[in-house]
Amino acid sequence: MTETAAPLAASAATEAPDPDALGPVPDGWDVREVEQYLYREARLADENDYDAWEALWTDDAIYWVPGDDLTADPTRNVSIIFDNRSRISTRMKQVKTGKRYAQAPPSNLRRLISNVELLGGRANGDGGVDLEIGANFIVFESRQRGNTIWGGRTTYRLRREGDQIRLAYKKVVLVDHDKVVPTLGFLV
């Protein structure tokens, strides 16, 4: 059964990004540094280090896993995940209870991030320009349900805040996003 998810009504008013607004790659970014950052993000997700993973995000974060229609507006159509910062926080709080059964016991995970490309710059809400990156991934998930191999394409947006690099946007398109998929309980 499903209950009215009233308390989950975190406003997802954030607009979907305008795909036409991609500018040149902003200065001061090196593929190597970016790769290492993405590897770290991947490791934190693989190892269920929820606090460290959550800390990567900017306040205007968007964490998006579209469903079958990639052209759909996530504010008007359902997605597998479409979290703003506050919902990311709720998601972390839930799993940390240890009773988020879809992840209790947690999946064993390892993912490969590859084909990392700096795609361009994307104007952000702070008047700055975020670095937009494309990469492909495979996640090997093992849980009692069995082993599942997930694959897809991730678009990241990174931003420098002081001496920190922050994750402003992560859109994960599963290769089989248009198919029936099993429970996706881990951080993809």
List contacts with another protein (CB under 8 A). 1-13, 65, 67-69, 72, 74-83, 87, 90-91, 93-95, 97-102, 105, 144-145, 178-185
Q: Does 32 bind a second copy (CB under 8 A)?
A: yes
Between CA 72 and CA 82 the distance in angstroms is 12
Least distance in angstroms from the C-beta of 57 to a second copy: 20
Find, among 176, 144, 154, the residue nearest to 37 by Cα: 154
Tell me how far the alpha carbon of residue 25 is from its chain's centroid: 21
Q: Match 């200065």 to its residue by tokens.
A: 27
Contacts of 187 (CB under 8 A, 6+ apart): 45, 48, 53
Least distance in angstroms from the C-beta of 98 to a second copy: 18
Residue closer to Fe ion by CB (options 2, 144) is: 2
Least distance in angstroms from the C-beta of 139 to a second copy: 9
Residue closer to another protein by CB (options 59, 69) is: 69
Rounded to whole angstroms, the maximal C-alpha distance in the chain is 51
Apex CA 183: angle with CA 2 and CA 10, to 5°? 55
Residue closer to another protein by CB (options 22, 72) is: 72
Task: State the binding string over 1-30 for Fe ion (x if CB under 5 A, else -).
Answer: x-----------------------------
* Sole binder of a second copy in the list 110, 125, 126, 164 (CB under 8 A): 110
Cβ count near 8 (within 10 Å) = 12
Between CA 8 and CA 39 the distance in angstroms is 30
Find, among 52, 30, 25, 18, the residue nearest to 169 by Cα: 18
**What is the binding site for a second copy (CB under 8 A)?**
31-32, 36, 39-40, 42-43, 46, 108-117, 134, 136-138, 140-142, 147, 149, 151-153, 175-179
**What is the binding site for Fe ion (CB under 5 A)?**
1
